[in-house]
Structure 1
Amino acid sequence: MTVTATATTVIGGADTHADTIHVAAVDEIGRELGDREFPTTPDGYRAALAFLSTFGTLRMVGIEGTSSYGAGLARAAHAAGVEVREVTRPDRAQRRMRGKSDPLDAYQAARAVLSGRADAAAKNEHIEAIRALHTARRSAVKARTAAMNQVHHMLITAPAALREKYRPLKDKPLVEALAACRPAHHRDPTIRAVSSALKVLAQRHQFLTRQANELEQHIKKLATIANPHLLSLRGVGPATAAQLLITAGANPDRLRNEASFAALCGAAPVPASSGKTTRHRLSRGGDRAANHALHTIAVVRMSCDPRTRAYVTTQRGNGRSTAEILRRLKRALAREIFHSLTRNQAAPHLADLRPTRQAKNITLTAAADAMNTYITKIVRTEQGTYPDHDLAHRYRTWLNTA
């Protein structure tokens, strides 16, 4: 159905699929102006926007799935200077009452923008690039773990000669030895076959390790561009920073305050009191990948951050369990990361450390001894590859007074 447009301002809506998009237009008071289906091609996106513009001035488009099927249309709309809003799928109760079809969903998307229910900006393409790399790295790490598990299981049932030869080796030395072995030298066909399988698995493990490392470096570059301060936080590495940026980028409406972000990450305290017992437990809701990222950061800090270790000691003295301590740490981390994500803070400056040390003719060994740490940690902090910013602060103070 098509109605002659009388309004000068048009709001568009789009229901997206793998091969087609269905767009619809409404005026400023929600009247239906027209709808049509287009292919998911560059020409199709341009034609869809041109169709919406025939009813008046296209001010805004609500798109369902701007990080999936609607990504192409969202890019085309941005290029044409049209604002894009992310539209969530209608709830089931509404669909039961009004039914479901592509035109209905497209009009619903347009009215969601008009009413203000869809006020979240479209997904950030920069974050979507991080998502792609993070997904590829995660699958490489998962496959690498599977390969290592297969190696261990195969060695359990391997012929005694192979099992005893590789029994003393663990992880990296084991992989290197198996990757360099020569199965053809064995006369026994069973040993030769098992050795060949182990060699292939070890080489696969090495290949996937290289892939994961290369992807991590790409992720680190993009994450540094997106939020340099986030990577400067203690315990936050490229993988955890990527996941937190992805979670924040996919849920901009959940960054209203730190409590909302904590709930999004499953780090908000949930009451679990009964009788005379008053306590809280970990939330089982929220984005579990973001929750895992917070968990990883908390565990790292518990192992190497002096302040966190002192806090853990105090809490254990108060009778709190490890799970309760982790819950508190993750809630505090959610607060710290929320501020990093929303305040656009700059990363601490590191470029002055190495020139200052060299200008004073201080060797890396002397610097490491003075800081009571390893030379490699000094080098990584100076170069900014894997910096320790607490160390950097103490190091700078020492250099300026040395």
Structure 2
Amino acid sequence: MSAVDALSSDREEHCPVILLGVDPHKSTHTATAVEPESNQQVGTMRIEASLTDYRRLLAWAKRWPQRKWAVENANGLGRHLAQWLIARGESVVDVPAAATSRVRELSRGGRRKNDQIDAAAAATVACLQGDGRDVEPEDHTTALALLDERRVNLAQARVRTVNQLHALLRDLLSGGAPTQLSADLAVKLLRSVRPAGDVETVRKDIAWDLVAEIRRLDKQLTDNAARMQSLVEASGSALMDTPGIGPVMAARLIGRTRRAHRFPTSAAFANYAGAAPVEIASADKARHRLSRSGDRQLNSVLHTIAVVQIRMPKSPGHAYYQRKLSEGKTPKEAKRCLKRRLADHVWRVMIADERRVKSLPGQAA
């Protein structure tokens, strides 16, 4: 090694890590470089929210070989920039807006607020307060969350279309159509209609359009479920081995949870899903009430799995439910106990899945 290379290597070893705090907005981002040891600002830059300025920001940041980005609200307005930086090998932490607000309040600046102060506060919080959370790159969990959101929209669109078709058939047929209306049944009913006059003709034409739309939505929902299943299977998840969990339920669990390891215990996951009872303060004895908080979509998934297992005589959930009934609990109370138990089971399965993926060759620890 030459003397120049040795000197350069020595400088890199002693070069302090610079925190680059970013205050993101919809049209602009402000970055401030902060030296953690002295908490002094060593540079600032304001850019437009565009790919060209993203490249300019990264080129500016490369003057500090040892650097770490602290993006305020990296899951909101800062999401695009944070994921763009991660894709280029940068280290990024997410800083909640409430934490930066607390730093501003306790600093000598009082309640002063501007983009540069917010960016510096984000960096300070990430370094000193420990409120920063590492931002991980998007993976199959994000894809499943997108597919789940798309499925919800498709299902809502199908319900609206079927309701419109019901309204038309009520005017075309005596007594209307049955409650459970499918595209094939609607076709059969429409073929029996002989319109009299322009009004009924228009109603029937619109009904045919709605039938075609229902068929299209049914196909999209089928394709959506198939894609969910392929992603869940490709991820190596064992969730579908549990009775009552199909590809759609597994995809929703993974997509809504994102990463199970962010919950330290199964109790924390159950509380997040709204499956853990809430204790009520009482002088006589400990009492609990039903939780109305938490992620209601996850709570709905656990409820569906519980109902399915209760109806399956050979499932473990059915045996647990019957045991709770024999202990004197009401059907509702027994079902809530089963949901709480399922929350623990689902968390353990997802944790095992994540550990299995990390242990595979070529996977990051």
Query: By the TM > 0.5 criterion, same fold?
Result: yes
Match of 1:171 among 181, 199, 220: 181
Between the aligned partners of 1:107 and 1:73, the Cα distance in structure 2 is 17
8 Å CA contact 2:99–2:125 kept in 1: the answer is no
Which residue is 1:188 aligned to? Answer: 197
For residues 299-318 of structure 1, the aligned pairs below 5 Å read 299-304=307-312, 306=314, 307-318=316-327
For residues 19-168 of structure 1, the aligned pairs below 5 Å read 19-29=27-37, 30-54=39-63, 56-90=64-98, 94=102, 98-115=111-128, 116-122=130-136, 124-156=138-170, 158-159=171-172, 162-164=173-175, 167=177
Deviation at 1:118, TM superposition (A): 0.8
Which residue is 1:321 aligned to? Answer: 330
CA RMSD of aligned residues (A): 3.0
Between the aligned partners of 1:67 and 1:46, the Cα distance in structure 2 is 21
Report the residue type matching 2:205 in the other structure: S
Between the aligned partners of 1:214 and 1:145, the Cα distance in structure 2 is 18
8 Å CA contact 1:87–1:118 kept in 2: the answer is yes
Deviation at 1:123, TM superposition (A): 5.4
8 Å CA contact 1:23–1:36 kept in 2: the answer is yes
Residue 283 (structure 1) aligned with residue 291 (structure 2): yes
Q: Deviations over 1:156-211 (max 9, x none)?
A: 4x14xx235x6468422434436x7497x623223222222322222222211111
For residues 302-381 of structure 1, the aligned pairs below 5 Å read 302-304=310-312, 306=314, 307-344=316-353
Deviation at 1:217, TM superposition (A): 1.5
Unaligned runs of 5+ in 1: 1-5, 348-402
Between the aligned partners of 1:250 and 1:62, the Cα distance in structure 2 is 21
Between the aligned partners of 2:15 and 2:343, the Cα distance in structure 1 is 46
Partner secondary structure for residue 90 of structure 1: helix
Which residue is 1:392 aligned to? Answer: none
Which residue is 1:198 aligned to? Answer: 207
Partner secondary structure for residue 24 of structure 1: strand
Identity of aligned residues (%): 27
Which residue is 1:226 aligned to? Answer: 235
When residues 337 and 82 of structure 1 are mapped into structure 2, their CA distance, relative to the original with a 3 A threshold, is: same
When residues 315 and 175 of structure 1 are mapped into structure 2, their CA distance, relative to the original with a 3 A threshold, is: farther
Report the residue type matching 1:199 in the other structure: W
Structure 2 length as normaliser, TM-score? 0.80
Between the aligned partners of 1:230 and 1:340, the Cα distance in structure 2 is 7
When residues 81 and 275 of structure 1 are mapped into structure 2, their CA distance, relative to the original with a 3 A threshold, is: closer
Residue 293 (structure 1) aligned with residue 301 (structure 2): yes
When residues 242 and 99 of structure 1 are mapped into structure 2, their CA distance, relative to the original with a 3 A threshold, is: farther
Q: Deviations over 1:276-320 (max 9, x none)?
A: 786533211111221112112112212225232232223233332
Partner secondary structure for residue 212 of structure 1: helix
For residues 223-302 of structure 1, the aligned pairs below 5 Å read 223-249=232-258, 253=262, 255-272=263-280, 279-302=287-310
Would you say how many aligned residue pairs link Structure 1 and Structure 2?
334
Deviation at 1:332, TM superposition (A): 0.9
Between the aligned partners of 2:166 and 2:61, the Cα distance in structure 1 is 60
